[in-house]
Amino acid sequence: MDLAHETSVLLSLNDLSCVPKVYGQVVGGSRPGLVMSAVPGTTLEKFLEKWTTDSCFHRCVTRVDFLHICLQVVRAIKSLHCSNILHNDLKTDNLMVQILSQNHHMFRVFVIDFGNATQVGQYNAYHIDPDDVREGRVTWLAPEVRRGEPTSISSDIYSVGVVLRDVQHSTGLYDDLDNLVEGCTREEPVCRTPLGEAEKRLLLRYKSLRG
Protein backbone atom coordinates (compact mmCIF):
# COMPACT_ATOMS: atom_id res chain seq x y z
CA MET A 1 0.00 0.00 0.00
CA ASP A 2 1.21 3.55 -0.57
CA LEU A 3 2.11 6.35 1.77
CA ALA A 4 -1.03 8.36 0.94
CA HIS A 5 -3.13 5.40 2.05
CA GLU A 6 -1.16 5.01 5.31
CA THR A 7 -1.49 8.76 5.95
CA SER A 8 -5.27 8.70 5.47
CA VAL A 9 -5.62 5.68 7.80
CA LEU A 10 -3.51 7.42 10.44
CA LEU A 11 -5.49 10.66 10.05
CA SER A 12 -8.72 8.73 10.66
CA LEU A 13 -7.17 7.42 13.91
CA ASN A 14 -5.74 10.75 15.10
CA ASP A 15 -8.03 10.79 18.16
CA LEU A 16 -6.78 7.46 19.49
CA SER A 17 -4.17 7.73 22.22
CA CYS A 18 -2.59 4.38 21.22
CA VAL A 19 -1.60 5.65 17.75
CA PRO A 20 1.17 8.24 17.09
CA LYS A 21 -0.26 11.52 15.82
CA VAL A 22 0.29 12.08 12.12
CA TYR A 23 0.98 15.57 10.81
CA GLY A 24 1.38 14.99 7.09
CA GLN A 25 3.43 13.60 4.30
CA VAL A 26 6.78 14.62 2.89
CA VAL A 27 6.33 14.79 -0.85
CA GLY A 28 8.88 15.26 -3.60
CA GLY A 29 12.57 14.60 -3.14
CA SER A 30 14.11 11.17 -3.22
CA ARG A 31 12.68 9.94 0.09
CA PRO A 32 8.95 10.49 0.57
CA GLY A 33 7.82 9.94 4.15
CA LEU A 34 5.30 10.45 6.90
CA VAL A 35 5.59 13.09 9.59
CA MET A 36 4.31 11.76 12.90
CA SER A 37 4.94 12.11 16.59
CA ALA A 38 7.87 10.03 17.77
CA VAL A 39 7.17 7.47 20.46
CA PRO A 40 10.07 7.74 22.92
CA GLY A 41 10.42 4.02 23.46
CA THR A 42 11.25 0.72 21.81
CA THR A 43 9.31 -1.89 19.92
CA LEU A 44 7.73 -4.60 22.05
CA GLU A 45 10.07 -7.05 20.31
CA LYS A 46 13.14 -5.15 21.57
CA PHE A 47 11.53 -4.57 24.97
CA LEU A 48 11.10 -8.35 25.41
CA GLU A 49 14.65 -8.96 24.20
CA LYS A 50 16.02 -6.45 26.72
CA TRP A 51 13.97 -8.05 29.49
CA THR A 52 15.51 -11.45 28.81
CA THR A 53 19.10 -10.20 28.48
CA ASP A 54 19.43 -7.24 30.87
CA SER A 55 19.25 -8.31 34.52
CA CYS A 56 18.61 -4.80 35.81
CA PHE A 57 15.71 -4.27 33.42
CA HIS A 58 14.49 -7.78 34.27
CA ARG A 59 14.22 -6.85 37.95
CA CYS A 60 12.36 -3.64 37.21
CA VAL A 61 9.63 -4.95 34.90
CA THR A 62 7.27 -7.34 36.65
CA ARG A 63 4.74 -9.95 35.63
CA VAL A 64 1.99 -7.45 36.48
CA ASP A 65 3.61 -4.90 34.14
CA PHE A 66 3.53 -7.41 31.31
CA LEU A 67 -0.13 -8.17 31.98
CA HIS A 68 -0.82 -4.44 31.80
CA ILE A 69 1.09 -4.21 28.51
CA CYS A 70 -0.97 -7.13 27.11
CA LEU A 71 -4.16 -5.45 28.29
CA GLN A 72 -3.15 -2.26 26.46
CA VAL A 73 -2.41 -4.24 23.28
CA VAL A 74 -5.89 -5.81 23.37
CA ARG A 75 -7.54 -2.45 24.07
CA ALA A 76 -5.56 -0.74 21.31
CA ILE A 77 -6.62 -3.24 18.64
CA LYS A 78 -10.19 -3.17 19.93
CA SER A 79 -10.20 0.62 19.55
CA LEU A 80 -8.87 0.35 15.96
CA HIS A 81 -11.73 -2.04 15.18
CA CYS A 82 -14.23 0.36 16.78
CA SER A 83 -12.84 2.99 14.38
CA ASN A 84 -13.51 0.55 11.52
CA ILE A 85 -9.82 -0.15 10.84
CA LEU A 86 -8.03 -3.49 10.58
CA HIS A 87 -4.30 -3.37 11.21
CA ASN A 88 -3.51 -6.54 9.20
CA ASP A 89 0.17 -6.72 10.22
CA LEU A 90 0.20 -6.89 13.97
CA LYS A 91 3.34 -8.28 15.58
CA THR A 92 5.70 -7.33 18.41
CA ASP A 93 7.79 -5.36 15.91
CA ASN A 94 4.82 -3.13 15.07
CA LEU A 95 3.98 -2.28 18.67
CA MET A 96 5.95 0.25 20.70
CA VAL A 97 6.31 0.57 24.45
CA GLN A 98 7.00 3.92 26.04
CA ILE A 99 8.51 3.76 29.51
CA LEU A 100 6.75 6.55 31.39
CA SER A 101 8.26 5.59 34.74
CA GLN A 102 10.11 2.33 35.24
CA ASN A 103 10.13 2.74 39.03
CA HIS A 104 6.41 3.36 39.12
CA HIS A 105 5.69 0.58 36.64
CA MET A 106 4.10 2.89 34.09
CA PHE A 107 4.29 1.79 30.47
CA ARG A 108 2.29 2.91 27.49
CA VAL A 109 1.65 0.91 24.33
CA PHE A 110 1.40 2.38 20.81
CA VAL A 111 0.48 0.68 17.56
CA ILE A 112 2.61 1.61 14.55
CA ASP A 113 3.00 0.65 10.89
CA PHE A 114 -0.37 1.07 9.21
CA GLY A 115 1.08 0.27 5.79
CA ASN A 116 -1.21 -2.76 5.39
CA ALA A 117 -4.23 -1.41 7.27
CA THR A 118 -7.66 -1.41 5.64
CA GLN A 119 -11.20 -0.54 6.56
CA VAL A 120 -13.20 -3.38 8.09
CA GLY A 121 -14.92 -5.26 5.27
CA GLN A 122 -12.86 -3.65 2.53
CA TYR A 123 -11.41 -6.35 0.29
CA ASN A 124 -7.77 -6.54 1.08
CA ALA A 125 -5.48 -7.05 -1.84
CA TYR A 126 -2.58 -7.37 0.55
CA HIS A 127 -0.09 -9.56 -1.30
CA ILE A 128 1.79 -12.20 0.62
CA ASP A 129 4.82 -13.77 -0.95
CA PRO A 130 4.17 -17.56 -1.16
CA ASP A 131 7.87 -18.12 -0.30
CA ASP A 132 7.33 -16.24 2.99
CA VAL A 133 4.40 -18.52 3.79
CA ARG A 134 6.26 -21.69 2.80
CA GLU A 135 9.30 -20.79 4.82
CA GLY A 136 7.29 -19.81 7.88
CA ARG A 137 8.18 -16.10 7.83
CA VAL A 138 4.63 -14.80 8.42
CA THR A 139 3.69 -16.71 11.54
CA TRP A 140 1.82 -13.72 13.00
CA LEU A 141 -0.78 -13.83 10.21
CA ALA A 142 -3.92 -15.95 10.56
CA PRO A 143 -3.96 -19.26 8.64
CA GLU A 144 -6.77 -18.10 6.35
CA VAL A 145 -4.78 -14.95 5.45
CA ARG A 146 -1.73 -17.09 4.69
CA ARG A 147 -3.97 -19.06 2.32
CA GLY A 148 -4.81 -15.80 0.52
CA GLU A 149 -8.25 -15.12 2.02
CA PRO A 150 -9.20 -11.54 2.99
CA THR A 151 -8.25 -10.16 6.38
CA SER A 152 -10.94 -9.53 9.02
CA ILE A 153 -11.48 -8.63 12.66
CA SER A 154 -10.84 -12.34 13.38
CA SER A 155 -7.51 -12.33 11.55
CA ASP A 156 -6.37 -9.33 13.65
CA ILE A 157 -7.50 -11.27 16.75
CA TYR A 158 -5.28 -14.16 15.65
CA SER A 159 -2.30 -11.78 15.45
CA VAL A 160 -3.13 -10.42 18.93
CA GLY A 161 -2.98 -14.04 20.13
CA VAL A 162 0.47 -14.44 18.57
CA VAL A 163 1.67 -11.24 20.31
CA LEU A 164 0.38 -12.60 23.64
CA ARG A 165 2.14 -15.89 22.91
CA ASP A 166 5.42 -14.05 22.21
CA VAL A 167 5.06 -12.23 25.55
CA GLN A 168 4.28 -15.55 27.21
CA HIS A 169 7.34 -17.25 25.75
CA SER A 170 9.70 -14.44 26.70
CA THR A 171 8.33 -13.89 30.19
CA GLY A 172 6.99 -17.27 31.28
CA LEU A 173 3.48 -15.94 31.98
CA TYR A 174 2.04 -19.33 31.09
CA ASP A 175 -0.86 -19.61 33.55
CA ASP A 176 -1.95 -16.02 33.02
CA LEU A 177 -2.07 -16.05 29.23
CA ASP A 178 -2.52 -19.69 28.12
CA ASN A 179 -6.26 -19.53 27.90
CA LEU A 180 -6.29 -16.31 25.88
CA VAL A 181 -3.53 -17.41 23.51
CA GLU A 182 -5.46 -20.59 22.79
CA GLY A 183 -8.75 -18.70 22.34
CA CYS A 184 -7.36 -16.00 20.05
CA THR A 185 -5.33 -18.31 17.80
CA ARG A 186 -8.03 -20.89 17.04
CA GLU A 187 -7.90 -22.20 13.48
CA GLU A 188 -11.56 -21.37 12.81
CA PRO A 189 -11.94 -17.55 12.60
CA VAL A 190 -15.47 -17.47 14.09
CA CYS A 191 -14.30 -19.44 17.14
CA ARG A 192 -11.65 -16.89 18.18
CA THR A 193 -12.12 -15.03 21.47
CA PRO A 194 -13.62 -11.56 20.84
CA LEU A 195 -11.33 -8.76 22.03
CA GLY A 196 -13.99 -7.44 24.45
CA GLU A 197 -13.94 -10.83 26.18
CA ALA A 198 -10.12 -10.98 26.11
CA GLU A 199 -10.02 -7.51 27.67
CA LYS A 200 -12.40 -8.54 30.49
CA ARG A 201 -10.34 -11.62 31.34
CA LEU A 202 -7.03 -9.77 31.27
CA LEU A 203 -8.43 -6.95 33.38
CA LEU A 204 -9.65 -9.40 36.03
CA ARG A 205 -6.27 -11.15 36.13
CA TYR A 206 -4.38 -7.85 36.21
CA LYS A 207 -6.52 -6.47 39.05
CA SER A 208 -6.25 -9.63 41.10
CA LEU A 209 -2.44 -9.67 40.81
CA ARG A 210 -2.01 -5.94 41.30
CA GLY A 211 -4.09 -6.10 44.48
Ligand X SMILES: Nc1ncnc2c1ncn2[C@@H]1O[C@H](COP(=O)(O)OP(=O)(O)OP(=O)(O)O)[C@@H](O)[C@H]1O
Work out whether 49 is an interface residue with ligand X (CB under 6 A): no
Q: Smallest distance, Å, CB 135 to Mg ion?
A: 19
Work out whether 138 is an interface residue with ligand X (CB under 6 A): no
Work out whether 20 is an interface residue with ligand X (CB under 6 A): yes
| CA nearest to 119, candidates 82, 144, 149, 65 | 82
Q: Smallest distance, Å, CB 203 to ligand X?
A: 27
| CA nearest to 72, candidates 52, 49, 100, 46 | 100
Work out whether 9 is an interface residue with ligand X (CB under 6 A): no
Q: Report the 10 Å Cβ neighbour count for 105.
A: 15
Work out whether 39 is an interface residue with ligand X (CB under 6 A): yes
Alpha-helical (H) ranges within 13-147 are 44-53, 55-60, 63-82, 130-134, 143-146
Please identify, using beta-carbon distances, which residue of 18 and 173 lies nearer to Mg ion: 18
Q: Smallest distance, Å, CB 137 to ligand X?
A: 12
Work out whether 93 is an interface residue with ligand X (CB under 6 A): yes
